[in-house]
Amino acid sequence: MGPAAAQYQRPGMPPGGRMPMAGLQVGPPGAPPYGAASPLRPGLPQSMMDPFRKRLLAPQSQPPMATQRRGVKRRKMADKVLPQRIRELVPESQAYMDLLAFERKLDQTIARKRMEIQEAIKKPLTQKRKLRIYISNTFTPAKEEGEGGERVASWELRVEGKLLEDPSKQKRKFSSFFKSLVIELDKELYGPDNHLVEWHRLPTTQETDGFQVKRPGDVNVKCTLLLMLDHQPPQYKLDPRLARLLGVHTQTRASIMQALWLYIKHNKLQDSHEKEYINCNRYFRQIFNCVRMRFSEIPMKLAGLLQHPDPIIINHTISVDPNDQKKTACYDIDVEVDDPLKAQMSNFLASTTNQQEIASLDAKIHETIESINQLKTQRDFMLSFSNNPQDFIQEWIKSQRRDLKIITDVIGNPEEERRAEFYQQPWAQEAVGRHIFAKVQQRRQELEQVLGIRLT
């Protein structure tokens, strides 16, 4: 039986084709596959039920994490939309749909503005403000021998300052605006080794509200103050020839590179065939000392043309006249400070309070829409039942029967299968042959496992 069945070829099958194994769906649509367990018939004892069917019917335990993840439903914008039938029943709901459309536009605008703010924060946001510098001095005359106090006359110079109309609550220290401060006194009075007073910023420098210099003397002293501003990002002074050409005197490196590129683009100096090269005109040849250069060479060549910016120079006279005490000189200079809007934008991006509140309100809206949909389903159910109770009950029973078949994994129509005509159809003979072949193959595998040999 085994070899004969293996060599038997059915008409219409390709040579070497093998018959399907047990469990393959055979027969008309909706019928159970031959070789598989038949559905449970009415009156059949529960003990004769297929064990595999029992496994299917038994509720399978799911891990708690998977259950929790499945329970968390991802909300979508479409879940907020009311169905058309509900809008027809309640015309007032159109106001909610208008608010939903407005919310969608608002969300798009906020998302676009958030991206613009993120890009703006990457760039330095500064504004120019007035820094008022106060320069004053006091004079202490020499005391007689019998009197207490200093016997040598001296003066004290003070350099202080503050921002005008500063809206920030935290006042910025005066020294934080400068990289260095040099006070040059009269060299003839104090000599070449003691006429300079210097302060330079270091990583460990403590910020202060002002500077004080005390020296002995009883005559008026002319001094020069050199203030070097601390630009962030750093600024550089261009070579005079390149500054005239680009129209830029002192700027950041990025701004200088941008101005240089605009000049190259406007004068069409980029090579038309080799885009990475620049053909220098007569001005560039004088400045860069070359006829042709690569774009990658510009930063290196430009570094030799950048200088430290000019310091702010203030000439002041230290007066020791007793009748001219507490005289204060004021000077206003332009400084760049961080735009207060930058801190507000950073706080806006980092803030999650509004987002949490919006998420909570969105969850309430979704729950309300789900509740409305459930109430609409219940209303349709009751309305259909009130219109025609008999037809409604019959259709409902049919629906429940279809659902029960799906739940219990019952396939086919038991009412048709219990009649003899069902098994006299043309496909019955081939189905029986396949079923017998599957059983023979199954028995053969069992014998091979028991005997430990392979039958041929």
Q: What is the mean pLDDT of residues 2-31?
A: 42
The pLDDT value recorded for residue 350 is: 80
DSSP letter at 9 equals -
Per-residue pLDDT of 411-437, as tens digits, reads 677 777 778 888 888 888 898 999 999
The pLDDT value recorded for residue 87 is: 86
pLDDT over 70, % of the chain: 79
Over 50: is that where the pLDDT of 34 sits?
no
The pLDDT value recorded for residue 60 is: 45
Band (pLDDT 50/70/90 cuts) for residue 6 is very low
Contact residues for 84 (Cβ-Cβ < 8 A; gap 6+):
none
Query: 127-131, 228-232, 344-348, 450-454: which range is least confident on average?
Result: 450-454
The SS3 of residue 160 is strand
Query: 212-221, 281-290, 352-361, 362-371: which range is least confident on average?
Result: 352-361
Per-residue pLDDT of 215-270, as tens digits, reads 888 888 899 999 999 888 888 999 999 999 999 888 889 889 999 999 999 999 99
Nearest to 216 by CA among 150, 266, 121: 150
Containing 128, the helix (H) or strand (E) segment is strand 126-140
Q: Give the span between the Cα atoms of 240 and 310, in whole angstroms.
A: 13
Over 60: is that where the pLDDT of 43 sits?
no
Per-residue pLDDT of 266-306, as tens digits, reads 999 999 899 999 999 999 999 999 999 999 999 999 988 99
Contact residues for 250 (Cβ-Cβ < 8 A; gap 6+):
235, 236, 237, 238, 309, 310
Q: How far, CA to CA in Å, does 45 sit from each of 40, 42, 48, 265?
A: 9, 9, 6, 92
For residues 182 and 61, the model is more confident at 182
Q: Give the span between the Cα atoms of 173 and 220, in whole angstroms.
A: 30
| Amino acid of residue 403 | D
The pLDDT value recorded for residue 80 is: 83
The pLDDT value recorded for residue 32 is: 44
How much is the mean pLDDT over the chain? Answer: 79
Over 70: is that where the pLDDT of 140 sits?
yes
Contact residues for 86 (Cβ-Cβ < 8 A; gap 6+):
93, 372, 373, 376
Band (pLDDT 50/70/90 cuts) for residue 180 is very high
- CA 398 to chain CA centroid, Å, is 52
Over 60: is that where the pLDDT of 39 sits?
no
Contact residues for 190 (Cβ-Cβ < 8 A; gap 6+):
215
Main-chain phi, psi angles of 4, to 5 degrees: -65, -40
Over 70: is that where the pLDDT of 332 sits?
yes
Provide the b/e sequence for 303-325 (b: ≥16 CB within 10 Å).
eebbeebebbebebebbbeeeee
Q: Give the span between the Cα atoms of 285 and 267, in whole angstroms.
A: 14
Q: What is the mean pLDDT of residues 125-146?
A: 82
Contact residues for 2 (Cβ-Cβ < 8 A; gap 6+):
440, 444, 455
Contact residues for 338 (Cβ-Cβ < 8 A; gap 6+):
125, 126
The pLDDT value recorded for residue 454 is: 62
The pLDDT value recorded for residue 15 is: 46
Angle at 429 between CA 424 and CA 433, to 5 degrees: 150
pLDDT over 90, % of the chain: 26
Q: Give the span between the Cα atoms of 101 and 107, in whole angstroms.
A: 10
The pLDDT value recorded for residue 68 is: 44
Nearest to 137 by CA among 247, 225, 259: 225
The pLDDT value recorded for residue 12 is: 42
The pLDDT value recorded for residue 31 is: 42
Main-chain phi, psi angles of 208, to 5 degrees: -135, 160
Per-residue pLDDT of 96-116, as tens digits, reads 999 989 988 998 998 898 888
Percent helix, percent strand, percent coil in the chain, to nearest 5: 45, 20, 35
The pLDDT value recorded for residue 278 is: 92
